[in-house]
Amino acid sequence: MKDLEKALFWYKLFEKSAKYEGEKKYVSFILPKITSEMNSEQVNRVEEKVQKWLPSPEDCKPRDLW
């Protein structure tokens, strides 16, 4: 079973933070595919969640990747 609302939520957050052209191109390709399988009520519900979303403080700390 697909959880389109969850997928849309995470891709909308990804869209907000996309910096590189490849990321922007990918998200502009995938979002219409997801929303085409959803009704407007579902999309609106996700949009509201995205607007209210705040990262948890531990997710905002710099990471030592190298």
pLDDT tens digit sequence for 1-37: 579 999 999 999 999 989 999 999 999 999 999 999 9
Task: Give residue 8's pLDDT.
Answer: 97
What is the pTM for the complete model shown?
0.80
What phi and psi values does residue 2 have, to the nearest 5 degrees? -85, 140
How far apart CA 24 and CA 26 sit, in angstroms, is 5
User: In the chain, how many H helices and how many E strands?
Assistant: 3, 0
User: Which residues have CB under 8 Å from 37's CB, separation 6+?
Assistant: 2, 4
